[in-house]
Amino acid sequence: MKDNNKKGVFPVTGMMCAVCASTVEKTVSGCEGVVDSAVNFASSEVSVTWDPSVTSPEAIAESEAKAGYAMIVEDSAAKAVEEKEREELKIYSGMKRDLILAWALTTPLSAICMLHIHFPGSDYVMMLLALAVMCFCGRRFYTGGFRNLLRLHPNMDSLVAVSTLVSFCFSLFNTLFPEFFAIRSMPAVLYYEASAMIIAFVLTGKFLETRARRNTGAAIKALMGLQPTEAMLIADNGEMIKVEISEIKPGSRIAVRPGDRIPVDGIVVSGIAAVDESMLTGEPAGVEKSPGGRVSAGTLCTTGTLSVRATAVGASTELARIIECVREAQGSKAPVQRLVDRISRVFVPAVMAISAITFFVWWAFGSDSLPLAVLAAVSVLVIACPCALGLATPTAVMVGIGRGARNGILVKEASALEQLAKVNLLAIDKTGTLTEGKPKVTEISCSQQLPESFIKTVKVLEERSAHPLAKAICSWAEDNISSSGKEASNPEPDSFDYIPGLGIVGTVEGATCWIGNEALTSRQGAVISTEGKALAEKWSKEGAGIVFAGCDGMEPVIFKVTDTLRPDAARTVATLREMGVRTVLLTGDRETTARCVAREAGIDDVVAEVLPQGKQDVVMKYKREGYFVAMAGDGINDSQALAEADVSIAMGGGSDIALEVAQLTVMSGRLSYIPKAISLSSATLKVIRENLFWAFIYNVVGIPVAAGVLYPAFGVLLSPMIASAAMAFSSVCVVLNSLRLNRIKLSCQDKN
């Protein structure tokens, strides 16, 4: 069943270009039991969803090995990344060694050729130097290139292998049989230096590209670097023992000192300290932690000491989940990538076909044009760059998602990062999103002394509610229960029913009680007095939340619940308006309350007193009107609207359902991070367009010039060495352009 499917991100080594990535994806998708797969060439990782009853990562890895690629399967993301780092370092070191040797051999070869140095046996010296470069420095191109060519999946290695081999063989024939061309009045041209320099330039480009690509994954490395490897365990006798993090179990007590990174998710048992949570929320200010407070793995204790009881360790911590979320997001594909993938699949075969056509067209010009035909055909092969196309989108997405993670913006899907820039309407939930989400009961209205049994019943029912106002009612009940009542055990409800958009109804010890809005009160057959309605209306106009509660036969109790507007709300709405984004307050609260809050925040429009289905209908309505809609919410009642929106944004600290449905999470819960996310999306989309423009234009212009379209009119014929240099540095330019996202200024940077 689909629900039983597992998903994982696995490093892959051996991919040299976008065509390799396409081959890996095709191989993985073809494995029995694989539901979905996506390859990120920029990060050299494959995201796989599989049915564990049919296949396993190990079986998928075996299929990849047969295709010539190594998929790394480890128990944890950290181990997988560590193994990938080792493999990449090995490849990087080998590439560096080959690069140095290639230029050491190519330099004298080029000098002999370009300076026209002739001495006895000079042709054979050039042949041996070129052969050494090809055999020792360029062997990876021939093994991988021809293997993929035989499998009818030619890649960039195939282009390099074919072009250098054609150049070398043509030169070797001219060296061994110079009279063949002499009797035909044709020059016996040698291209040994082209064979060697193509490999040297391509190796240079791949070396620089690899080094630059390693920087695109800096966010993941930084997050993993936050995971402590050791912890100070407090033994039962009070002794503190330094142990490996793997020895810590849920329930263990941990000592945290100033300067320590907290190794687990947990609850503070004793002590007071300031904790830097910027790695989770993007907020630079320290947060005070005291007994009962929650702490997260990877956060930094700046001052004070804490004793913490572990609630989650290892892969179960929030930090581990963030790391996995970022890896999965970086491995997902932006919609624009689909077009690039289709082009990449046919790119190399098309280039090889163009090269063959170029050769025969030039050869048809006359008997003395064979050297020019070879030169043009080889230039076409080496100037084409599938890597630039393959790297254009994923490198920008990787850097953009990483930049977001460092700023407390957790992007779960690459599509959200691309589409957020298109948003022109933001629907905002009220409680917990526009407001602080820390409501308090400030007044109540009732015509009689409330019995303690009623207060306890309200507490029992509200403890089981996920509504943002439930905590406020629970706190009020806790404060109004006597000491003896607190000591007595709470009864279990005989029944409990959550009615979306209305409230809750439950039966406790035979009494049916309800807690919710005015509509639920009327539905239960209770009558609100004229004075009660007037008071509720007055409180609503003041921006307070109104909650009605009652039991069989009693007059409804009216609670005034106040929740302050987030301090950055008005500034955020103003910033969004400047960015061309219309704002709509979408809430199930009373009309008067909603309009009061909207007026204070400066929101353009209000839709109030709507059920969860109604919120979804409103989002659909705006979409039909032509708006590209984003929805920001934090509650269960927002989940339908979040799912319907073009882009869904969850506020940190909200319900699990909202966090699960949303494509993007603001970890700090601050509204000001939404404009920052839009700004990041716009910058990422701009970089993607720049990268694709460069990649397409480079190939569209470069290939015809290499084919010799300018030669008849201007006498310009591109040298294979220049072509290889252009190819080598085109992909480097794309990666470097993507890395600019690490330096851009995001909108609405907080000053406080």
Q: Catalytic positions, please?
A: 429
Pairing label, strands 253-256, 306-312: antiparallel
C-alpha torsion sign, points 479, 484, 485, 489: positive
Residue located via tokens 């400066």: 602
Please tell me the distance from the alpha carbon of residue 727 to that of residue 278, in angstroms, as a whole number: 41
Distance of CA 710 to the CA centre of its chain: 44
Return all residues near 567 (Cβ < 8 A) that are at least 6 apart.
none
How many whole angstroms separate alpha carbon 559 and alpha carbon 462?
13
Eight-state DSSP code of residue 556? P
User: Which among 79, 76, 75, 70 is positioned nearest to 45, based on CA atoms?
Assistant: 70
Question: How many residues are present in the chain?
Answer: 752
Q: How far apart are CA 145 and CA 18, in angstroms?
A: 13
Residue 41, phi then psi, degrees to nearest 5: -65, -35
Listed residue (279, 277, 266, 278) closest to 306, CA to CA: 266
Going by C-alpha positions, the residue among 47, 11, 54 that lies closest to residue 32 is 54
In angstroms, rounded to a whole number, what is the distance separating the alpha carbons of residues 345 and 424? 35
Distance of alpha carbon 675 from alpha carbon 744, whole angstroms = 14
Angle at 429 between CA 427 and CA 433, to 5 degrees: 115
Task: Identify the residue whose tokens are 């400047």.
Answer: 578
Q: Do the Cβ atoms of 433 and 511 come closer than 8 Å?
A: no
Q: Say what angle helices 673-707 and 569-578 make with each other, to 10 degrees.
A: 30
Whole-number Å distance between alpha carbons of 602 and 698: 48
Tell me the backbone φ, ψ of residue 28, rounded to 5 degrees: -65, -45
Q: Which among 102, 343, 208 has a CA at the least distance from the CA of 728?
A: 208
* Exposed / middle / buried, residue 735 (Cβ in 10 Å: 0-12, 13-18, 19+): buried
d(CA 395, CA 243): 38
Sign of the C-alpha dihedral, residues 176, 182, 186, 188? positive
DSSP run (H or E) holding 7: strand 6-13
**What whole-number distance in Å separates Cα of residue 416 and Cα of residue 632?**
13
Report how far apart the first and last C-alpha atoms of the chain are (Å, whole number): 49
In sign, the C-alpha dihedral spanning 393, 399, 403, 405 is positive
